[in-house]
Amino acid sequence: MKNVKKKVLLSEKISDKGVKILTDAGFDVVVSPSTDEVSMKNAIKDVYGVIMRATSINENIIAAGKQLKIISRHGTGFDNIDVTSATKHGVLVAKVDGANAYSVAEYVIGAILTLGRRFINSNDAFRNGSMCVNGASLPGLAVRYNLNGYEIRGKTLGIIGFGRIGTILSSLALPLGLKVIAYDPYVKNTSQHVEHVEHVEHVELVDDVNIIYKNCEFISINVPLTKETENMISKKQLEMMKPTACIINAGRGGVVNEIDLANALNTNVIAGAALDVFLPEPPKAENPLLKAKNALLTAHIAGTTFEAGEALAMGAAQAIVDYANGLKPQFTVNPEVTGSLK
């Protein structure tokens, strides 16, 4: 690698700590001027590797990278990468697992408290002037406008997807007094997580996701978007839920049917929702969730704290450095491309 100048393209800026790993290894690092297809095709022509954040890379872009050897995902999910095309062109796809899991878990806890205590409603009431009544008391106005929320203690949190994020989430939720049940068809018991996550042995694993829909005040979605999970929660599932239920989706847009969710919120089928992900992203102006009642909308920030950003950037950069040095990156999506590398 020494004295060999290869180029790495960043679809968008990453933490300086990730850039330093690349430059210390002898790479030139460039940032694409835009993430649209034309810009990416022009920028990728002579690069060895590319680091992708949340925007997409399709076959046209991959094919334009005549020297491209690796696509490193700045995150865990890789539904924004055409893995089939990458494999066809002999391009390795790598990802970073677990680097932002704690940040996402914290986001879910924050959303649970925000929705359970109806902070959004109070904020809206102040901003629309409802709380500015001469001679009235704020506690009295809170009662008038139904702004008093609930303690989360004693409520049930259902976690759909019990991987790294789900297990960390359970370790944060249980000490707060929440009962936790989880569904994940790929996890048979909690014992595999006990060494790494506190309190996880107190989580009840269920083999029927409908148990979560029917029994939980809070439902956290922590699964990728696949053929199996697309529209996993639609009108039928929403109607199974308690009227006090709140959904938190920090997984992927498309897992929850957005039209059905907006209708459920507006007709009080469920009590609230926090959405950090949409399909597509950014959401279209006509997306009904933008005007739905009791919806907390955030800009795909659950896993992008400063700490997580540094860890993700360093992991994505290290994957490229490792591959260039003849090593198999820690987390590969299409390992068949690496051949005999270890």
pLDDT per position as a tens digit, 18-70: 999 999 999 999 999 999 999 999 999 999 999 999 889 999 999 999 999 99
> What count of other Cβ atoms lies within 10 Å of the Cβ of residue 239?
12
What number of residues does the chain have?
342
Whether residue 1 lies inside any domain: the answer is: no
Question: What is the pTM assigned to this prediction?
Answer: 0.86
Instruction: Kindly state the average pLDDT of the residues 155-172.
Output: 96
**What pLDDT, on the 0 to 100 scale, is given for residue 306?**
95
212: domain CATH number?
A: 3.40.50.720
- Which positions are catalytic? 252, 281, 300
Shared domain for 286 and 231, answered yes or no, is yes
User: What is Dmax (Cα atoms) for the chain?
Assistant: 77
Return the structure tokens found at 257.
Answer: 């049917």
Same domain for 171 and 284, yes or no, is yes
Question: Does residue 179 share a domain with residue 75?
Answer: no
Distances (CA, A) of 68 to 41, 57, 62, 118, 318: 12, 13, 8, 49, 16
Shared domain check, 225 and 292: yes
Q: Is residue 143 part of a domain?
A: yes
Q: Let me know whether 164 and 73 are in one domain.
A: no
Task: Specify whether 117 is located in the same domain as 251.
Answer: yes
Average pLDDT value over all residues in the chain? 94
Same domain, 135 and 226: yes
Examine the domain organization and report whether 26 and 115 are in the same domain.
no
Residues 313, 184 within the same domain = no
**DSSP-derived 3-state class of residue 266:** helix
198, pLDDT greater than 90: no
CA angle 325, 328, 331 (to 5 degrees): 130
Q: Are residues 61 and 29 in the same domain?
A: yes
How much is the pLDDT for 3?
Answer: 52
How far apart CA 149 and CA 244 sit, in angstroms, is: 11
Are residues 284 and 207 located together in one domain of the fold? yes
Host domain of residue 88: 6-99+306-338
167 within a domain of the structure (yes/no): yes
Q: Give the model's confidence band at 1: pLDDT under 50 very low, under 70 low, under 90 confident, else very high.
A: very low
Domain count, the chain: 2
In a shared domain, residues 208 and 218: yes
Q: How far apart are CA 299 and CA 144, in angstroms?
A: 32
Q: Does any domain span residue 198?
A: yes
d(CA 342, CA 34): 35
Task: Report the b/e string of 162-199 with b at 16+ CB within 10 A.
Answer: bbbbbbbbbbbbbeeebbbbbbbeebeebeebeeebeb
Dihedral sign, Cα of residue 146, residue 301, residue 174, residue 211: positive
Rounded-to-integer distance, Cα 203 and Cα 219, Å = 14
Tokens, residue 322: 């490792």
Region 175-197: mean pLDDT is 81
